Structure 1
Amino acid sequence: MRTTTWAKRATAAIALAFLAAAPVAALDFQNVAFIQTATSATSIPVGHAEFCRARPAECTPHQNPVGAVTLTEPLWQQLLAVNATFNQQIVPVTDADLYQVEEFWTYPNGYGDCEDYVLAKRRALIEAGWPASTLLITVVKQANGEGHAVLLVRTDRGDLVLDNQVGSVDLWSNTPYKFVKRQSQADAGAWVDMFDDRNIVTTAAID
């Protein structure tokens, strides 16, 4: 998937207002803050399937999947810091230029494309104590029809997106993408389709 750049939007106030909202007693995953998914598995992106063959220990079922993280102020700041750190440290390069192949998912060594940013951020948050079941590699479609990958973080305040193309951490519905599919919360090696019925114009399909 190619990496492109789009202007940062003024979403900080929205994000902070959302963060400041009082948490509900019982989490409702049917709330619009959470994107809905299919119950059955869907096809696995080729790049992730190859990644799992190379690193099978990272693509196993979760023994005790956590539905969502309770988002405290320190954890919110950690999300912002991880997103900013890897966005600054990694130089965006396509797989074709870096590895001479169309698609190759791996941990970046200073260079990488969108999936590599996602893998690095996900690993860093897991090492910091975040449950892996709440850190989901997600495939989206950009307005120009190109595929892209982001990290979807499930919190009690909704599904938040860490993206190498923008510095803010936004609620999924405040992003300009059409959400296609993501990792299953039950199994890191399985994927589920996503239901995004927002009216976002796209020009082409992705695999």
Structure 2
Amino acid sequence: MKMTRGKLLLLAMAMQLSAWGTASAGPVFMHTGGRTTQPVGHYDFCQRIPVECNERTPKGPPVELTRKLWATIIDINNSVNARVKPRTDMEIYGVEEYWAYPDNGVGDCEDYALEKRRELMAAGVPAGNLLMTVVRQPNGDGHAVLTVRTGLGEFILDNLEPKVLAWNDTVYTYLKRQSTENSGVWVTINDGREDAVASVR
């Protein structure tokens, strides 16, 4: 029997929600702390494009995760990962760290995340629910991803992982991210999932 796209999306969401409920390690929302240092690359990005770092979002609940929004998140994540080719900042710009939109079709991890953030904002998601996030990979390397805050939890859009995962189902250690109320401010993340991370490696 053929299933419509809508039914397939509902089934996929139901299966994913069931998996989150039984397999996710830890809380579905990150525990954030106080204000911390802004990544050097993001500071430079803000100096070049000040409007990107002046967004204010009133304090409120996360965006509702509807079937339509979930499909949009998946589509944008897949599209950006497919059309942007991975290159280091040194290869592209000749410097160690340079955050920019991948308008030339190539980019580093933070450039993928910036583009996904831009496209989701254009789709109507408030800036306070789209947070640039710095993590540590299992090998110790730094990495940048996009956190999407929803009423069902926080999800990670990542150029190294094709699936959109709940943050607590990833193998990363979370260090800091943008404030939900001010895109130019960063806050610490109290991960507290060392045992959980080890269990899913």
Q: TM-score, normalised by structure 1?
A: 0.82
In 1, are the aligned partners of 2:62 and 2:151 still within 8 Å (CA)?
A: yes
In 1, are the aligned partners of 2:135 and 2:175 still within 8 Å (CA)?
A: yes
The answer to whether structure 1 residue 159 and structure 2 residue 161 are counterparts is: no
2:37 corresponds to which of 25, 43, 51: 43
2:124 corresponds to which of 125, 129, 133: 129
Q: Secondary structure at the match of 1:153?
A: strand
Tell me what 1:79 maps to.
73
In 2, are the aligned partners of 1:66 and 1:133 still within 8 Å (CA)?
A: no
Map Cα deviations across residues 142-174 of structure 1 (whole Å, 9 max, x no partner): 000000000000000101000001111110000
Q: Which amino acid aligns with 1:97?
A: E
State the shift of 1:19 in Å.
3.7
Query: Which of structure 1's runs of 4+ aligned residues deviate more than 6 A?
Result: none
Percent identity over the alignment is 45
Tell me what 1:141 maps to.
136
Tell me what 2:64 maps to.
70
The answer to whether structure 1 residue 90 and structure 2 residue 90 are counterparts is: no
Taking only aligned residues, the RMSD between alpha carbons, in angstroms, comes to 1.9
Residue 63 and residue 75 in structure 1: after superposition, are their counterparts in 2 closer, same or farther (change >3 A)? closer
* C-alpha distance in structure 1 between counterparts of 2:192 and 2:13, whole Å: 22
Q: How many residues align?
A: 179
* C-alpha distance in structure 2 between counterparts of 1:170 and 1:16, whole Å: 14
In 2, are the aligned partners of 1:65 and 1:185 still within 8 Å (CA)?
A: yes
In 2, are the aligned partners of 1:67 and 1:154 still within 8 Å (CA)?
A: no
* C-alpha distance in structure 1 between counterparts of 2:57 and 2:154, whole Å: 22
Tell me what 2:114 maps to.
119
Q: Which has the higher helix share?
A: 2
State the shift of 1:198 in Å.
1.2
Q: TM-score, normalised by structure 2?
A: 0.84
Where does 1:42-61 land on structure 2 (aligned, <5 Å)?
Answer: 42-61=36-55
Residue 63 and residue 149 in structure 1: after superposition, are their counterparts in 2 closer, same or farther (change >3 A)? closer
Tell me what 1:26 maps to.
none
* C-alpha distance in structure 2 between counterparts of 1:105 and 1:33, whole Å: 28
Please, which runs of 5 or more residues in structure 2 have no aligned partner?
1-10, 20-25
* C-alpha distance in structure 1 between counterparts of 2:62 and 2:17, whole Å: 14
* C-alpha distance in structure 1 between counterparts of 2:18 and 2:139, whole Å: 34
Q: Secondary structure at the match of 1:143?
A: coil
The answer to whether structure 1 residue 196 and structure 2 residue 194 are counterparts is: no
Please, which runs of 5 or more residues in structure 1 have no aligned partner?
1-12, 22-30, 202-207
